[in-house]
């Protein structure tokens, strides 16, 4: 099988988000970047499928600024065979549609049997690239997968919905997005990391994939500003006798929160 | 002028509450867009369901009398919805659920539309609408505008807009037919939890536990309390990674973002990635032994104490009140 795993690099979950002095952009100084946690599940699953099906290959594909290549190296260290990097430059905007279309153009010629991405990137939290990419590749899509088995020509999978699990069957080739619970991503060993340095990352520029005219058509959004959410008002603090505190909590719940 | 389509479907034959929230959002955006509202219902509502919807602000309700659409399917739904969209200047509103976002992403590529998921709010000025959505799990917010001439697709996060109230005007009802296409995706079964547990993403009250709960067994205390106050049981990432709770219960940046009326955090110190998942709750009550726990910075009521000394008593007291209320009725 040929499996594509999509990779994005994002700020670590412990990052405190600040705005620049002019309030127009995020302050990026001091941010630690990691592989998007949901993409780790995607890479791990791709590698596990490869390990079970001899003759398979895993190609990690990602788009972003130069530092994005570190994330692709991590994917290679986890077991992907090669990488494709699309430089995020000379684009008419930051629209997710542009990303999805460029990724699709890069993936199309590979004719993969399966494309796995994370359910969303934890920076923009859109979850758009997977389903949009599936449209451009003309493939079926399933979001939020927590269990996956490959059978001849199809996937059997479980996907999580709000409070329920859907058991599904999808014809291959297909695009799916990974949710936490799908697997436990491995930590690459030092040897894996060394070996990954010898693997190839092919670099592509947007203009090699799409004309400027086509890119411009995909730019449909305009960002008008950023702000930080209003700070919460700090409440009362209770300390001391547990029994007395229980009474005060009950009063708070019944009189202020008005629970029924 | 921009036409508004509100799209929704029945869940196990029932009309989801979020439907009325989408209509409320549509109603408040409508003024700025000078458009009309069409509610597109995939699947066939019962006469009672239709009745309860026809005077909630939609100018027109279209539903499909096609059994194949009674169950959600990304491929057939994409086809059926696309067949109903007229022109290229419209606003399509979908629920901000997993299925709603899957559809939104797919439709946005198919129609080259501006896509803005998880809309919290909007501002409107002379036909220009700026939608506000959270990024970095709510650590920041961004304002986005769809370009003129392009379709716009948004999803609305559940519990963000109040349900639409009844109005005087009645919607025009239209019944549509859809010729089912073969779908490459099949739903074989839907597994629901054995006990009727409430999911944290839908609950108005959440009782959540973290490291301070010490072991899986102790979550019983939270379950008992949750039962008394009709809540769902949530967990921090640490509690999930330790195997104490299922990841479906995880609240935080790599779990669920929740906005209940009450979030009761027990033995949760408040790592940033947890705080962003629950800091938009209306009220937060936090119980923690450590007086310096970061969660106290955002709590409406901070309780410095041992969860094991407080929770059992709290459950007993709340149970008493509930019983008194029942007797009074």
| Rounded percentage of chain B residues whose pLDDT exceeds 70 | 98
Q: Is the pLDDT of residue B144 over 90?
A: yes
Mean pLDDT of A227-255: 91
CA-nearest residue of chain A to B275? A14
pLDDT number for residue B254:
86
Least confidently predicted of A27-31, A200-204, B37-41, B191-195: B191-195
Q: Is the pLDDT of residue B329 over 70?
A: no
Q: Which residues of A touch B136 (CB under 8 A)?
A: 11, 15, 17, 122-123, 125
In angstroms, what CA-CA distances link B101 with A143, B17, B314? 9, 17, 39
pLDDT number for residue B195:
64
Task: Give the residue from A231, A239, A246, A250 with the most B CB atoms within 10 Å of its CB, the best one to mutate.
Answer: A246
Q: Is the pLDDT of residue A53 over 90?
A: yes
The Cα–Cα gap between B180 and A51 comes to 39
Closest by Cβ to A163, choosing from B199, B303, B309? B199
State both tokens at B1. 């002028």
pLDDT number for residue B261:
92
pLDDT number for residue A167:
98
The Cα–Cα gap between B18 and A27 comes to 36
* Tens digits of residue pLDDT in B69-94: 999 999 999 999 999 999 989 999 99
Closest by Cβ to B145, choosing from A224, A246, A260? A224
Mean pLDDT of B231-249: 94
CATH number of the domain bearing residue A82: 3.40.50.620
Distance from the Cα of B271 to chain A's closest Cα (Å) equals 8
Inspect the interface and report whether the beta carbons of B303 and A238 lie closer than 8 Å.
yes
Q: Which residues of A touch B116 (CB under 8 A)?
A: 221
Q: Is residue A243 part of a domain?
A: no
Residue given tokens 């009362």 in the structure block = A236
CA angle B117-B123-B125, nearest 5°? 130
Q: Is residue A233 part of a domain?
A: no
Q: What is the pTM of this model?
A: 0.90
Q: Which residues of A touch B300 (CB under 8 A)?
A: 232-233, 235-236, 252, 256
Q: Which domain holds residue A60?
A: 2-218
State both tokens at B80. 């059926």
The Cα–Cα gap between A75 and A71 comes to 6
* Tens digits of residue pLDDT in B250-284: 999 889 989 899 999 999 999 988 998 999 899 99
| Rounded percentage of chain B residues whose pLDDT exceeds 90 | 77
Q: Is residue A237 part of a domain?
A: no
Crossing angle between the packed helical segments A129-137 and B98-110, to the nearest 10 degrees? 50
Q: Which residues of A touch B253 (CB under 8 A)?
A: 13, 122
| Rounded percentage of chain A residues whose pLDDT exceeds 70 | 100
Q: Which residues of A touch B192 (CB under 8 A)?
A: 163-164
Q: Which residues of A touch B186 (CB under 8 A)?
A: 168-170
Number of domains in chain A: 1
Query: What mean pLDDT is reported for chain A?
Result: 95
Q: Is the pLDDT of residue A148 over 90?
A: yes
CA A151 to chain centre: 25
pLDDT number for residue B196:
61
Task: Give the residue from B121, B132, B136, B325 with the most A CB atoms within 10 Å of its CB, the best one to mutate.
Answer: B136
pLDDT number for residue B238:
95
CA angle A212-A215-A219, nearest 5°? 135
Query: B63 pLDDT band (50/70/90 cuts)?
Result: very high
Question: Any CB–CB contact under 8 A between B176 and chain A?
Answer: no
State both tokens at B11. 């869940």
Selection from B144, B139, B140 nearest residue B117 by Cα: B144
Q: Is the pLDDT of residue B189 over 80?
A: yes
Query: What is residue B324's three-state secondary structure?
Result: helix
Distance from the Cα of A33 to chain B's closest Cα (Å) equals 13
Question: Any CB–CB contact under 8 A between B135 and chain A?
Answer: yes
The Cα–Cα gap between B250 and B155 comes to 22
CA angle B129-B134-B138, nearest 5°? 155
């Amino acid at each position: 099988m040929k499996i594509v795993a999509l990779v994005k690099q994002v700020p670590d979950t412990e990052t405190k988000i600040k705005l620049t002095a002019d309030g127009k952009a995020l302050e990026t100084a001091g941010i630690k970047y990691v592989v998007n946690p949901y993409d780790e599940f995607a890479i791990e699953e791709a590698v596990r499928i490869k390990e079970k099906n001899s003759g398979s290959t895993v190609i990690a594909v990602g788009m972003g600024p130069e530092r994005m290549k570190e994330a692709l190296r991590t994917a290679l260290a986890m077991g992907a065979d090669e990488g494709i990097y699309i430089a995020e430059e000379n684009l008419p905007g930051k629209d997710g549609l542009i990303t999805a279309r460029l990724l699709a153009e890069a993936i199309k010629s590979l004719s993969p049997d399966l494309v796995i991405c994370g359910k969303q990137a934890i920076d923009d939290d859109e979850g758009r690239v997977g389903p949009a990419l599936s449209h451009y590749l003309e493939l079926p899509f399933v979001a939020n997968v927590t269990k996956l088995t490959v059978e001849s020509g199809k996937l059997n999978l479980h996907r999580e919905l709000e409070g329920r699990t859907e058991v599904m069957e999808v014809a291959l080739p297909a695009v799916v997005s990974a949710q936490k619970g799908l697997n436990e991503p491995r930590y690459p060993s030092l040897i894996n990391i060394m070996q990954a340095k010898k693997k190839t990352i092919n670099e592509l520029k947007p203009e090699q994939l799409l004309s400027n005219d086509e890119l411009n058509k995909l730019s449909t959004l305009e960002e008008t500003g950023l702000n930080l959410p209003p700070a919460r008002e700090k409440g009362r603090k209770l300390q001391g006798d547990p029994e007395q505190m229980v009474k005060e909590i009950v009063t708070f719940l019944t009189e202020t929160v008005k629970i029924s | 002028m921009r036409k508004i389509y509100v799209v929704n479907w029945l869940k196990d034959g029932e009309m989801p509450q979020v439907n009325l929230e989408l209509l409320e959002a549509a109603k408040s955006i409508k003024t700025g867009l000078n458009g009309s509202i069409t509610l597109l219902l995939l699947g066939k509502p019962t006469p009672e369901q239709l009745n309860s919807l026809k005077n909630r602000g939609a100018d027109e309700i279209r539903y499909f009398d096609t059994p194949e659409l009674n169950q959600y399917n990304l491929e057939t739904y994409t086809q059926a919805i696309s067949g109903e969209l007229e022109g290229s200047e419209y606003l399509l509103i979908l629920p901000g659920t997993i299925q709603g976002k899957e559809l939104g992403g797919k439709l946005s590529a198919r129609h080259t539309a501006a896509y803005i998921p998880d809309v919290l709010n909007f501002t409107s000025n002379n036909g220009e609408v700026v939608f506000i959505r959270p990024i970095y799990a709510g650590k920041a917010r961004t304002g986005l505008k769809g370009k003129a001439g392009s379709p716009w697709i948004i999803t609305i996060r559940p519990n963000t807009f109040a349900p639409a109230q009844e109005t005087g005007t009645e919607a025009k009802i239209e019944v549509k037919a859809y010729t089912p296409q073969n779908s490459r995706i099949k739903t074989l079964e839907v597994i629901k939890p054995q006990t009727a547990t409430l999911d944290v993403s839908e609950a108005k009250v959440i009782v959540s536990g973290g490291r301070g709960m010490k072991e899986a067994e102790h979550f019983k205390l939270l379950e008992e309390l949750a039962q008394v106050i009709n809540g769902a049981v949530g967990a921090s990432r640490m509690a999930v990674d330790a195997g104490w709770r299922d990841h479906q219960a995880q609240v935080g940046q790599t779990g669920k973002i929740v906005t209940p009326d009450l979030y009761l955090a027990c033995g949760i110190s408040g790592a940033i990635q947890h705080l962003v998942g629950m800091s938009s709750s209306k009220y937060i009550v936090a119980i923690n032994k450590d007086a310096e726990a970061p969660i106290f910075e955002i709590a409406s009521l901070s309780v410095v104490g041992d969860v094991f000394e407080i929770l059992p008593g709290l459950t007993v007291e709340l149970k008493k009140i509930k019983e008194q209320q029942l007797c009074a009725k």
